[in-house]
């Protein structure tokens, strides 16, 4: 019989509601006594660890971390299961809903609150305060893993974005080059002024791609929310329950209009670009990630950093801001070996484990101590990404309805920019959807 296919998004939404229902009724949620009765670490302790499968460097780094931990802790066996990214979240939520989660799991920061709200995660606050060297992690980074005053995940690495600009194009037009100082960004008005001078539509050259175009909701949250914050706006309330009074604020609407105007009024941005428009000379400025440095070096060797292009901190308007939060490690509230699980999590995300991991993956560590010891992270251009995260990082809204909220906000940017819909109308509709999603969650309790 031919199987009926169900859209993955619907499966995930269903399980979110199911988990929320469990949270409200306490079904499947361990009692304090169950949580506190973790077995002491013995020679027979075995922990299951699920993580999203990454690239070769990430997979190799985890293999070595697990081997190193078991060598140093012969009484603990780690059974690690790398799972493809496309399947990971659905499988993890299904395992939790069925009452058979792994002891340790990796979770992307924006999804943390839905798991925590469902009672699926063990609070780690006491562990961090006891021996997690919490002062070595920027408070803004920890905020991305904190829900209702409890830390639920241990961070390992960060990624970050910045302004990439074509140095030769700037010089040819006599435009002052942006500062390399991470704390001295140019303003969005200055970006617009430069973009107008750099745009040559007859040659297919545009001034600025402000947020990697129009991608999925997750990319919108990572690339577009900083623009809202930079204009002094917000997306949701601090407690993650509503967007009323935040998404419809004057500052947020100003940011959305500014973004839309880059495409429609000023015509310095395009809805479509050829492949790799920045290194191929079709885009004068772009907001991109630290990961693109290696991409350009490997695939465009004649497009050289410092000669053809440079990197500057993200533009600001009212303030500086960049999104933080990445994949991190959590412990299941159902684990019968929480102490042993913390030993592993603390090893991987602590000083030694983090240093070992980033030396192989070239990612940005979250710990001050590790970043300080890696020379290239303290020099241009990597220092821009590091300093931004440490000093101006902000967590995307911490809310158990993050997927629904993010999808609604993503649609606002698309409707206003591509569909040329009124900002007021689009935002009002988004708020209704977000509030309805939260109301549905509350109704399940």
- Edge-to-edge order in the sheet of strand 161-166: 206-209, 283-289, 161-166, 309-312
pLDDT at 205 over 90: yes
Distance CA 335, CA 345 (A): 13
Distance CA 388, CA 289 (A): 12
Q: Which residues pair with 151 in a beta bridge?
A: 146
User: Taking the domains of the chain in order of start, what are their residue ranges?
Assistant: 25-159+326-386, 161-323+401-443
Q: Are strands 206-209 and 283-289 parallel, antiparallel or unpaired?
A: parallel
Rounded CA Rg of the chain: 23
Q: How many CB atoms lie within 10 A of CB 232?
A: 16
Question: By percentage, how much of the chain surpasses pLDDT 90?
Answer: 87
Distance CA 383, CA 371 (A): 9
Give the mean pLDDT of 191-205. 97
Question: Greater confidence, 38 or 300?
Answer: 300
Q: How many CB atoms lie within 10 A of CB 354?
A: 25
Q: Which fold has domain 161-323+401-443?
A: D-Maltodextrin-Binding Protein; domain 2 (3.40.190)
pLDDT-derived band at 43, boundaries 50, 70, 90: low
Q: DSSP code of 39?
A: P
Distance CA 422, CA 429 (A): 11
Would you state the pLDDT for residue 216?
Answer: 84
Task: Indicate if 161-323+401-443 has the same CATH topology as 25-159+326-386.
Answer: yes
In sequence order, which ranges of 56-164 are alpha helices (DSSP H)?
A: 56-72, 85-97, 112-117, 125-131, 139-143
Q: Is the dihedral of CA 214, 217, 218, 220 positive or negative?
A: positive
Average pLDDT, the chain: 91
Q: Which residues contact 371 (CB under 8 A, 6 or more apart)?
A: 364, 365, 377, 378, 386, 390
pLDDT at 28 over 70: no
Would you state the pLDDT for residue 53?
Answer: 95
Give the mean pLDDT of 206-210. 98
DSSP string for 275-332: SSTTTTTSEEEEEEETTHHHHHHHH-TTS-BTTTEEEEPPPBSSS--EEE--EEEEEB
Domain 25-159+326-386 has CATH 3.40.190.10: yes
Mean pLDDT lowest among 184-193, 216-225, 301-310, 322-331? 216-225
Give the mean pLDDT of 257-283. 97
For the record, the structure tokens of 372 come out as 């300080």
Q: Which residues pair with 163 in a beta bridge?
A: 287, 312
Would you state the pLDDT for residue 26?
Answer: 37
Contact 366, 161 (CB under 8 A): no
Would you state the pLDDT for residue 17?
Answer: 44
User: What pTM, to 2 d.p., does this model score?
Assistant: 0.89
Q: Which of 113, 383, 412 is nearest to 233 (CA)?
A: 412
Would you state the pLDDT for residue 442?
Answer: 93
pLDDT at 25 over 50: no
Mean pLDDT lowest among 205-219, 318-332, 341-355? 205-219
């Amino acid at each position: 019989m031919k199987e009926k296919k169900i859209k993955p998004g619907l499966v995930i939404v269903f399980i979110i509601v199911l988990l929320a229902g469990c949270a409200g009724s306490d079904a499947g949620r361990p009692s304090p006594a169950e949580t506190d009765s973790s077995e002491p670490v013995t020679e027979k302790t075995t922990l299951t660890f699920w993580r999203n499968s990454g690239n070769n460097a990430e997979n190799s780094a985890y293999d070595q971390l697990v081997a190193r931990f078991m060598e140093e802790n012969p009484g603990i066996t780690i059974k690690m299961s790398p799972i493809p990214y496309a399947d990971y979240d659905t499988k993890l939520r299904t395992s939790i809903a069925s009452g058979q989660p792994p002891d340790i799991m990796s979770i992307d920061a924006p999804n943390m609150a839905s798991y925590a709200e469902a009672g699926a995660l063990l609070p780690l606050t006491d562990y961090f305060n006891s021996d997690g060297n919490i002062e070595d992690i920027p408070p803004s980074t920890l905020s991305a893993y904190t829900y209702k005053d409890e830390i639920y995940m241990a961070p390992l690495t960060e990624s970050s974005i910045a302004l990439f600009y074509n140095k030769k194009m700037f010089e040819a037009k006599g435009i002052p080059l942006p500062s390399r100082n991470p704390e001295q960004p140019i303003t969005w008005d200055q970006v617009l002024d430069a973009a107008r001078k750099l745009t040559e539509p007859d040659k297919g050259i545009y001034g600025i791609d402000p947020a990697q175009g129009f991608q999925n909701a997750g990319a919108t949250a990572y690339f577009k929310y900083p623009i809202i914050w930079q204009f002094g706006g917000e997306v949701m309330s601090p407690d993650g329950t509503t967007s009323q009074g935040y998404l419809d604020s004057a500052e947020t609407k100003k940011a959305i209009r500014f973004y839309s105007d880059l495409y429609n009024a000023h015509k310095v941005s395009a809805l479509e670009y050829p492949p790799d428009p920045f290194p191929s000379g079709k885009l004068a400025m772009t907001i991109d990630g630290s990961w693109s440095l290696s991409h350009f070096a490997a695939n465009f060797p004649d497009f050289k950093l410092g000669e053809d292009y440079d990197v500057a901190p993200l533009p600001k308007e009212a303030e500086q801001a960049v999104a933080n939060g990445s994949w991190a490690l959590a412990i299941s509230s159902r684990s019968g070996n929480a102490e042993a699980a913390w030993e592993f999590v603390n090893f991987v995300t602590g000083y030694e484990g983090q240093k070992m991991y980033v030396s192989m993956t070239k990612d940005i560590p979250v710990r001050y101590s590790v970043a300080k010891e890696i020379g290239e992270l303290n020099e241009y251009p990597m220092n821009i990404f590091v300093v931004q995260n440490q000093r101006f990082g902000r967590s995307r809204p911490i809310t158990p309805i993050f997927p629904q909220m993010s999808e609604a906000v993503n649609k606002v940017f698309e409707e206003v920019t591509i569909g040329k819909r009124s900002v007021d109308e689009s935002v009002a509709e988004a708020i209704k959807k977000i509030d309805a999603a939260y109301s549905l969650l509350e109704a399940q309790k």
